[in-house]
């Protein structure tokens, strides 16, 4: 499984994945590559089937296409990002009712830190931390 830095010609595939997020960060996504690091997990044809967008130690977006899930892609993306930022714990916010994402992050080894009020357009979030 290959994880690499995103390239400008990945934009259409990444936009399609971005639309799958329940709480996307469109301003941050649109600001890439000027802001943040965007890693992609690609299939055998080098087509992005998942991505992780992070800024410093914060993971802003993580998404994997439904037909590419349960292949270890989210794990590979988080581990690759953490390798680039190994001097810090990684954080992310997840909606309390997003059971699928919460189960994924639990399986990846994230720990619950605190509840964050009004993180998603007036809705609370749970802050998770990954120490690697």
Domains of the chain (ranges; CATH) run: 2-130 (3.40.630.30)
The pLDDT-based confidence of 128 (bands split at 50, 70, 90) is very high
Judge whether 41 and 2 are in contact, CB under 8 Å: yes
* DSSP state, residue 82: H
Task: Please check the confidence at residue 6 and state whether its pLDDT lies above 90.
Answer: yes
Note if the bond before 33 is cis, omega within 30 degrees.
yes
Mean pLDDT, the chain, whole residue set: 90
d(CA 132, CA 75): 11
What pTM, to 2 d.p., does this model score? 0.89
Q: What angle do CA 31, 64, 28 make, to 5 degrees?
A: 15
Q: Mean pLDDT check: name the lowest of 85-89, 93-97, 106-110.
A: 85-89
Query: Could you give the maximum distance between any two Cα atoms of the chain, in Å?
Result: 42
Q: What angle do CA 44, 20, 56 make, to 5 degrees?
A: 80
Task: Please check the confidence at residue 119 and state whether its pLDDT lies above 90.
Answer: no
């Amino acid at each position: 499984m290959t994880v690499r830095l995103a390239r400008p010609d990945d934009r259409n595939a990444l936009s399609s994945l971005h639309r799958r997020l329940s709480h996307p960060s469109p301003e941050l996504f649109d600001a890439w590559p000027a802001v943040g690091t965007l890693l992609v997990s690609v299939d055998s044809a080098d087509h992005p089937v998942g991505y992780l967008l992070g800024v410093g130690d914060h993971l802003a977006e993580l998404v994997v296409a439904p037909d590419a899930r349960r292949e270890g892609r989210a794990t590979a993306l988080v581990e690759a990002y953490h390798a680039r930022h190994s001097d810090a714990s990684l954080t992310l916010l997840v909606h309390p009712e997003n059971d699928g994402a919460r189960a994924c992050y639990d399986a990846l080894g994230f720990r619950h830190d605190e509840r964050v009020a009004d993180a998603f357009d007036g809705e609370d979030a749970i802050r998770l931390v990954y120490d690697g």
